[in-house]
Amino acid sequence: IKSQLKMSLSSLNDFEFGKILGKGAFGMVCLVKRKFDGNIYAMKRIKIVQLSDKDKENSLNEIRILASLSHRNIIGYKDAFYDKNSKTLNIVMEFADDGDISTKIKQKLRTKSHFEENTIWGYLIQILEGLNYLHEKKIIHRDLKSANIFLMKNNTVKIGDLNVSKINKQGMAHTQTGTPYYASPEIWLDQPYDYKCDIWSLGCILYELCQLKPPFRGTSLKNLCINIQKGMYDPIPDFYSDNLKKVIGM
């Protein structure tokens, strides 16, 4: 791991730790403040010893990809270092100070309210800007979902969580990945796919912003797969425009 990271002089001692922003099977994301300048970041802490070789490669892949990117609609990479005592790989990233779209959707469900259409168009345009940048660099995100679209209080939208992204050198990719509700039909069928799979996932996110639930659901993974292949979904509410309905259909 260390040999594949660029030399970093950072250590855990350089940061004050705040609340936990998220937890997973192999680590967590914490809010941190860098001591020498007071800057606030999100730090992903990955327990390397518990990872399979494939997951280790995914973690290093995220660092390589993040470090190569610079765009206002992509979560920014700041630093990465290995901590020997805790045996963790630590990735320091830009902190999204207004949460993510998934959290906003849950808030709307709790308050029985809906997103204004202008807000949805604003999200769409900025996500497309970020995706266009990734695709121009031949990067397929492969796990686009509402929980991976982050928000800033200045209304900037940022794509994050690039650990399963793939640099598409051959033109078509063939690794099954992604989150079931947002995965495109060709991924479900284990067929070759390209950048269009990200556009499918974006359509699912747009629909979820309107209906507050994913377009395709099922009682089992097999049933979900069948429903995604059919491409049938309930219409979005009538108070949204025909143009928005058309874009989601596309």
- Residue linked to tokens 């067929």: 191
CA distance 62 to 161: 8
Helix axis angle, 117-136 to 196-211, nearest 10°: 170
Q: CB-based contacts of 104: which residues, under 8 Å, 6+ apart?
A: 115, 151
Taken in order 156, 126, 139, 195, is the CA torsion positive or negative? positive
Q: What angle do CA 133, 181, 143 make, to 5 degrees?
A: 30
Q: Any idea what DSSP says for residue 100?
A: B
Q: Give the DSSP H or E segment for 86.
A: none
- Catalytic option among 79, 143, 161, 198: 143
Q: Any idea what DSSP says for residue 236?
A: P
Instruction: Examine the residue annotation and report whether 79 is marked as an active-site residue of this protein.
Output: no
CA distance 162 to 224: 25
Helix, strand or coil, per DSSP, at residue 38: coil
| Residues with active-site annotation | 143
